[in-house]
Amino acid sequence: MIIENRKLRLFAWLFVVATGNVLMSCTSDEERGNSVLDGTYPMTFVGQVFDRPLTRTTSEGSWDGTEKVAIQIGEEVKLYTADKNGGLTADEPFYWENKTEAVDVLAWYPCNETEVPVSFSVQQDQNLENGYQHSDFMRARNHFSFSDQPTLDFYHLPAKVQLNLKAGEGVENEETIKDASISFVNMSLTSGELDMISGTVAQTSGNTEIVPLKFSGDKITEGYLQTVQALLVPQQMKGIPFIKIVINNVPAYYIPEEEEDANLQSGYLYVYNVTVNNKGEVEVSLAVSGPEWTPNGDEHLVTSRTCYTADDIKPGDFFYRSADGNSWLVSDGGLREVDNTTGEKVWETPSQTPADFKDGRAYIGVVFQTDPRRMSELEKSKGWTHGYVMALTNASAACTWGTVGEDEKTESQTGGINYFPNVTRNNTMYQDVDGYGKKMYIADNKLAGVTDVKETSYAAFYYSEYYGTGDSQIYAAPGKESNLTSGWYLPTIGQWWDILENLGEAVGLLGYRENTGSTVTLRSTGDIKMSTAIIKKLNERMGENNQGVAPFVEGVHYWSSSEKDKDNARRVLFDAAGTNNYSLRLSDNRKSNPSTVVRCILAF
């Protein structure tokens, strides 16, 4: 199916990004280079919990499009409204005032107007409709600046308790175990004092009986007859009845004996496996106790896989410019499933390939990213919210990046081009996705009036600026003059990271996202030549046998727009020589080195 200017149906995330998803009045190119902003860049939000995709931000279910999330910056609190995809917007949002000064952001859900909570509550009967969901409370806090691609991870503050019940010795009628009544007793419905800045919750005590959510079907833990869950406020249950099980109207109680048997802490998961014998005696073992709600075997609450249909816009889809050049189109590239833990992907043979189109549409690129968390906020504020596309051919042969030793930064910074952060670590390489902002800075300050590459030392940017003109005009970006797309530009090293992960299936990169080393190296193992395998996948995704596709090859390296420092820029190496034979490397190179080529991307 062909999709024309259709918005991507995204999974709901709860994570925070730096400026708006809404259209805004355009500021001048000169203003983009200044540190002080003019109040036209709104902060908008989307959601994430534990860096995993969820069906919603709370315990389970889906957004209905009306939830209110509180956002606090400084002393001011504003309410944002969730849409069905988890996007958070406000009629009167916060705005960025400065590109370099970081802001602290505190957020929570659910919220009571703009009042900062001092405690949270849980429901007494969590088996009633929404009782379990309405017992959740989540908080997030972080600080970041305009040029960052920041994430606010939301954490659950209640304790989650799961109980698995099975029949023990001598029990002949398993139906009595299936029908047993389970509850948690001596509970409080309101938490102890909540410190929103630190996220800590004081323990309390109570005398209320809480009815848990009862699972059915394949949600019941394998090998057990009942599985229930409840969200509870932090309490220490040592020495007092905690679990109550009623079979044939006869109650039995579990009283924890040790400090850690039921020391319920905020954000922890506790899994109790319980066996009942024919005398009504219960044997309890604590199987899981830890600060994460999603252990192995609990996938029915948190999914680690993302699934797509042919109609979704997604990595690997083919990207076209219409015959008149004024619109873009995509067709299915075959991606159906992504394991978000391992990075492994399931592909089907695409229903249509680039060769199928004969009506004047020009196949010009392949989609490599559609996750809003990985998209530049400057671009999204202009309405380019669907994703990124990688070009099918190189914009140049090998060329230099720019001037070595240029230092435009303030005394507090370590040198390099003003506006460009120094990307010195692997984790900051992954986070750097502001390629369009860098392109605009260079276009304004280094390429203004330049008509020949010999007139500038910024060759890599020059070639990317003019890709789609002259001999390469068949690959011109659709609607560039009307702002339908961003036009082509040089990708950052973080955007190359996404190309390699999503199209090259370089799953080993996942382990480097938080790494603080200075170079990423995926080495060959055995007969598997790392760069060869990744290049093969990249070329498959582009449809290497189609006319006009320039495949990736061994030994060719690619510039990014990211600086390491004033002398060096980041690049991708398909390393077919030296001590790292056939490895993939995300490293750096002298800006004056002429050995690296340019391949462009665009936002749409």
Give pLDDT, residue 69. Answer: 87
> How confident is the model over 387-436, as pLDDT tens digits?
999 999 999 989 999 888 776 665 455 677 878 889 999 999 999 999 99
pLDDT at residue 559 in the model: 97
Burial 15-43 (b: 16+ CB within 10 A, else e): bbbbbbbeeeeeeeeeebeeeebeeebbb
Confidence band, pLDDT 50/70/90 cuts, at residue 24:
very low
CA distances for 595 relative to 30, 589, 598, angstroms: 32, 9, 10
Instruction: Please give the Cα distance from 42 to 60 (Å, whole number).
Output: 29
Q: What is the pLDDT of residue 1?
A: 36
Distance from C-alpha of 149 to C-alpha of 266, rounded to nearest angstrom: 28
Spatial CB neighbours of 418, under 8 Å, sequence gap ≥ 6: 33, 408, 409, 441
Q: Report the run of H or E that residue 435 belongs to, with start and end.
A: helix 435-445
Please give the single-letter amino acid code of residue 317.
Answer: D
Tell whether the model's pLDDT for residue 51 goes beyond 50: no
What pLDDT, on a 0 to 100 scale, did the predictor assign at position 31?
Answer: 40
Backbone angles phi and psi of 303, in degrees to 5 = -95, 135
pTM of the prediction? Answer: 0.59
**What is residue 443's predicted lDDT score, i.e. its pLDDT?**
93
Average pLDDT (108-134) is 91
How far, rounded to the nearest angstrom, does the alpha carbon of residue 517 sit from its chain's CA centroid? Answer: 21
The letter for the amino acid at 506 is A
Note the pLDDT tens digit of each residue in 428-461: 999 999 999 999 999 999 999 898 999 999 999 9
- Mean pLDDT, to the nearest integer, of 59-64? 47
